[in-house]
Amino acid sequence: MKTQEKIKYKATSNACKLCSPLGASFVFRGIERSIPLLHGSQGCSTYIRRYLISHFNEPVDIACSNFTEETAVFGGGANLKLAVENIIKQYNPELIGIATTCLSETIGEDVPMILREYNKEKFGENFPEIVSVSTPSFSGTHIDGFHGAVRAVVDSIAVKKKISTKQINIFPGMLSPADLRHLKEIVSDFSTDYVILPDYSETFDGPLWTEYQEIPEGGTKIEKIASMGDAVASIEFGKILAGEESAGKMLESQFNVPCHSLGIPIGINETDAFLKALETITGKPVPEKYIQERGRLIDAYADGHKYVFDARAVVYGEEDLVTGLASFLSEVGIIPIICASGGESGLLRQKILDIIPDAENIGIRIIEGADFVEIGEEAKKINPDFFIGNSKGYRIAREMKKPLIRVGFPIHDRLGGARIIHVGYRGAQQLFDIISNTIITTRQDTSPVGYTYM
Amino acid sequence: MTNIPILKEREKQIYHKGEGVFDLTCDTKSLAGSVSQRACVFCGSRVVLYPIADALHLIHGPIGCASYTWDIRGALSSGPELHRMSFSTDLRERDIIFGGEKKLYASLVQLIDTYRPNAAFVYCTCIIGIIGDDVDSVCKRVTEEKGIPVLPVHSEGFKGTKKDGYKAACESLSMLVGTGSIENIGKYAINIMGEFNIAGEAWTIKEYYENMGIEVVSVFTGDGRVENIKRSHGASLNVVQCSGSILRLAQIMEEKYGIPYIRVSYFGIEDMSKALYDVAAHFKDNIGIMKKTKEIVKNEIDAIYPDLVRYKKALSGKKAAIYVGGAFKAFSMIKALRSLGIDVVLAGSQTGNKDDYEVLRNMCDEGTVILDDANPLELSKYCIEKSADLFVGGVKERPIAYKLGIGFCDHNHERKISLAGYSGMINLAKEVYSSVLSPVWQFAPKKHNAEMMK
């Protein structure tokens, strides 16, 4: 108990993080004909559904095992099985992704054991795959739930059939549907076979329906996940993730699939690294289209460099997103003066220092385990030029009368969160234009003259 | 018809008016795996207490519940805005093992010192009882040390339904009621209950009452203040809207202080006028009140009538689906939509009881589908089968409507537009008009329309 006494307790005020079952729900939504099932209270699924709906503006069906008082006392096995049966009857899925919650974890539910006899062998070929992941909300954040679910899916489905293939496994992390579409385009342009997991590019950003869809079309095909053990390589985005036992590393250790751990490809430097990895793996040169895109991007950097140089930005969000944005901002001369995340991997400081070695000398504050009250207090000390992150920073930005450039998740106060491209030269181009124009707008609006040329 | 399947267990909670004996099952826990639109006990408590603007709302548990309810309601305040912050004890694994009491204590002390609230509510989430925290005694201790009421809210998510959360909130509120001075409260004084000041609605309603010559002691809980709640037992009538959420408190106040209550609704011309007349009738010894009420009703209706006629002309013959939290709102909506010439083809609620559904059945036209605790599949199925043009619901229902090419009106607690009172009726008409008659639906591949034309 002694160690307990030493801990200095502090409430979290306006959290800069979400709970881990939300991240797992993202992943299960990104598999073809799959539906997420949360093992916990009805509120867990409803709150997460509402949170996702407000960002994506898409129907999001997440089932729940609906704990009651009796369940909490006697265990949730019966409820979980009933939930699985009812999901099959209503949705006829090919995969049910079960994520635990703080409630089921606290009472010590052993989901794999409950489900041991619930499988295809017993119920026949039409019975869905069931994947479960442990996502207690008292440990880690939504991004841990996300990566945990990717790993759990790969762990239970991927095999090595020793088939010769040119397939590349892509583990993009928690990006936007537009990012996923762009990544697929890039990899396709290398004329190679690939599988991307998860792929919610259609399931979270689809057209109106001609016929009712119980589960929206799209998502990673289960047979493609099964073939991951035969891939020639994996590419995994996330420098923080690289410090963990990830899906890519698991495939490397189990099936000898080499894993390329890269930062999220935001900006030229990180996108170059990504394309270089694709060149290395496929043995093919970067397609002309991307050389052109890169050229136009550098041209844009040249046109706008003076407006952004030495501007100071408050950056917040998931640790890997913050790291990626910091890399992009610093390559155009913007100082990510505050780099904050609700995540607590303990790696953020080092990853920022890897990108900006003199970060501490130029006064960059790196805050791990941050909440928005803390970010606000720090921001007020340094008078930044703008904020960049999800829409939850709006309160502080408004208070400080500074622009907020919305990226990442969630974006609850604007349309089009699903359509933002962060990655690749194209993503950098969009980010650079938005940031430059935001700074130009501020100058124009506060100028007594109001120049009509830049 | 659609081929969307309905679970056998759910069939008893669906009724087609005119078909068979009416015996709707309701007031039950949600079925596991059904994907209920309901949330949990915590949600019930949180929505009731949320608008109390000068109180600290501390959510005791892991981070999710606090993140998902940060600034979630459009409940406005004329002064302090502490309710728009999200505070959590953010319990971690070590707290689950060692207990969360110390963290709760430290968080309360820190937050009370920082924000100087007039009271604090501590919401227990799912795991609090399970890890054995004695929240009541921590609250008692902090009450003594800090000199403000610190009230536990026993809102563990799984311990019932959203309705049980309402009760838990009412019980916490009842501990505040009766602790303030009732000096200077006049004879014609009421409490407005179950009005949450979404988009300033409580202000509109309060103004009507004040113009009638009636004093409003406290609003529960819109633009709520601790001081007003403490002295609310000085009112001589409780006027209760939103049947489920605050009725328990009205009952407690009747038992304890002998204050009678009446039930009202402020939505639609008919119910709004009835509310004012019913309150005036209660104070029948003062004929001046009734006289003023008649004037107010006449003036208000005269002011909106020409616009209303215009909207009605445009909307006549359209069909609506209504799915809301409490059944009382559904009653008002049916009447309000009828006054716009719109027929209701689907009506349902998350928390209606037997009596509510009996009323609903009597109000509805033949062929209307009545649903209790519905899920997205059922809502979609009947919207398609009944060819609805409009859906009235909350954020979770919005994308269902849009995917099917149906207009939508947000009537839940996130709305930004006042829909109560006479001015609210015009806003409702505008809202409905701007969605149902939007030209964008010409591009929607509405299958049911196409089929009907065959």
- Whether residue B400 lies within 8 A of chain A, CB to CB, comes out as yes
Q: Are residues A149 and A244 in the same domain?
A: no
CB spacing of B447 vs A69 below 8 angstroms: no
Mean predicted confidence (pLDDT) in A275-301: 98
Those of residues 16-45 in B touching chain A at CB distance below 8 A are: 29-43
How far apart, in whole angstroms, are the C-alpha atoms of residue A219 and residue A196? 9
Q: Are residues B256 and B293 in the same domain?
A: yes
The alpha carbon of residue B35 is apart from the nearest alpha carbon of chain A, in Å, by 5
Those of residues 96-115 in B touching chain A at CB distance below 8 A are: 96, 98, 102-103, 106-107, 110-111
Q: Note the maximum CA span of chain A.
A: 77
Q: Are residues A218 and A196 in the same domain?
A: yes
Number of independent structural domains in chain B: 3
Report yes or no: A41 and A188 within 8 Å, Cβ to Cβ: no
Flag whether A403 is in a domain: yes
Q: Smallest Cβ distance to B157: which of A8, A43, A53?
A: A43
Mean pLDDT of chain A: 95
The alpha carbon of residue B136 is apart from the nearest alpha carbon of chain A, in Å, by 19
Q: Which of B277, B262, B312 is nearest to B426 (CA)?
A: B312
Report yes or no: A151 and A173 within 8 Å, Cβ to Cβ: no
- Whether residue B303 lies within 8 A of chain A, CB to CB, comes out as no
How far apart, in whole angstroms, are the C-alpha atoms of residue A174 and residue A318? 9
Using 50, 70 and 90 to split pLDDT, how confident is the model at A450?
confident
Tokens 């891939």 appear where?
A231
The domain of B272 spans 189-298
CB spacing of A106 vs B130 below 8 angstroms: yes
Domain ends where: A131, A157, A183? Answer: A157
A72, two tokens: 């909490």
Write the CA distances from A77 to A3, A67, A156, B130, integer angstroms. Answer: 35, 10, 21, 18
pLDDT tens for A197-251 read 999 999 999 999 988 889 999 999 999 999 999 999 999 999 998 888 899 999 9
Interface predicted TM-score of the whole assembly (ipTM), two decimals = 0.96
Number of independent structural domains in chain A: 3
The domain of A232 spans 168-282
Q: Which of B103, B242, B251 is nearest to B177 (CA)?
A: B251
A452, two tokens: 């009509």
Selected for mutation to probe chain B from A2, A6, A50 (highest B CB count within 10 Å) is A50
pLDDT tens for A120-158 read 777 787 899 999 999 999 999 999 999 999 999 999 999
Q: In the predicted model, is pLDDT for residue B316 greater than 60?
A: yes
Q: Are residues B369 and B412 in the same domain?
A: yes
Q: What is the pTM of this model?
A: 0.96
Mean pLDDT of chain B: 94
Selected for mutation to probe chain B from A212, A374, A377 (highest B CB count within 10 Å) is A212
Q: Are residues B14 and B48 in the same domain?
A: no
* Backbone dihedral angles phi then psi of residue B29, each to the nearest 5 degrees: -70, 160
CB spacing of B395 vs A1 below 8 angstroms: no
Q: Which residues contact A240 (CB under 8 A, 6 or more apart)?
A: A319, A320, A323, A343, A345, A347, A348, A351
Q: Are residues B48 and B165 in the same domain?
A: yes
CB spacing of B447 vs A59 below 8 angstroms: no
Report yes or no: A12 and A127 within 8 Å, Cβ to Cβ: no
Flag whether B33 is in a domain: no
Q: Are residues B324 and B278 in the same domain?
A: no
Residue B211: burial class (beta carbons within 10 Å; 0-12, 13-18, 19+): middle
How far apart, in whole angstroms, are the C-alpha atoms of residue B238 and residue B263? 9
Nearest CA in chain B to A207: B403
- Spacing of C-alpha B391 from chain mean position: 17
CA atoms within 13 A on the CB side of A251: 32
Mean predicted confidence (pLDDT) in B192-212: 97
Q: In the predicted model, is pLDDT for residue A353 greater than 60?
A: yes
How far apart, in whole angstroms, are the C-alpha atoms of residue B67 and residue A418? 20
Q: In the predicted model, is pLDDT for residue A103 greater than 90?
A: yes
Q: Are residues B167 and B309 in the same domain?
A: no
Going across the sheet that includes B189-195, the strands are B215-221, B189-195, B237-240, B261-263
Q: Are residues A105 and A200 in the same domain?
A: no
> Which residues from B are below 8 Å from A19, CB to CB?
62-64, 67
Domain ends where: A258, A282, A306? Answer: A282
How far apart, in whole angstroms, are the C-alpha atoms of residue B166 and residue B42? 9
Q: Which residues contact B294 (CB under 8 A, 6 or more apart)?
A: none
Q: Are residues A195 and A211 in the same domain?
A: yes
Q: What is the pLDDT of residue B451?
A: 52
Flag whether A414 is in a domain: yes
Angle ∠(A402,A404,A408) on CA atoms, nearest 5 = 160
Q: Are residues B151 and B194 in the same domain?
A: no
Q: Which CATH number is B200's domain given?
A: 3.40.50.1980
Using 50, 70 and 90 to split pLDDT, how confident is the model at B452?
low
Using 50, 70 and 90 to split pLDDT, how confident is the model at A4?
very low
How far apart, in whole angstroms, are the C-alpha atoms of residue B51 and residue B220? 8
Going across the sheet that includes B119-124, the strands are A12-13, B87-88, B55-60, B119-124, B150-153
CB spacing of B32 vs A10 below 8 angstroms: no
Report yes or no: A192 and A287 within 8 Å, Cβ to Cβ: no
Q: Smallest Cβ distance to B5: which of A43, A59, A89?
A: A89
Three-state SS at A233: strand
Using 50, 70 and 90 to split pLDDT, how confident is the model at A116?
confident
Q: In the predicted model, is pLDDT for residue B312 greater than 50?
A: yes
Domain ends where: B121, B153, B176? Answer: B176
Q: Are residues A262 and A173 in the same domain?
A: yes
Report yes or no: A39 and A65 within 8 Å, Cβ to Cβ: yes
Q: Are residues A340 and A393 in the same domain?
A: yes
Using 50, 70 and 90 to split pLDDT, how confident is the model at B428?
very high
CA atoms within 13 A on the CB side of B446: 22
Q: Which CATH number is A178's domain given?
A: 3.40.50.1980
Q: Which of B127, B160, B178, B206 is nearest to B45 (CA)?
A: B160
Report yes or no: B409 and B390 within 8 Å, Cβ to Cβ: yes
- Whether residue B95 lies within 8 A of chain A, CB to CB, comes out as yes
Flag whether B352 is in a domain: yes
Backbone conformation region of residue A33, classed left if phi is above 0, alpha if psi is from -120 to 50, else beta: left
Selected for mutation to probe chain A from B67, B103, B323, B414 (highest A CB count within 10 Å) is B67
Tell me the count of A-B CB pairs closer than 8 A. 243
How far apart, in whole angstroms, are the C-alpha atoms of residue B346 and residue B390? 10
A384-398 burial code (b ≥16 CB/10 A, e <16): bbbbbbbbbbbbbbe
Instruction: Give the other-Cβ count within 10 Å of A312's Cβ.
Output: 19
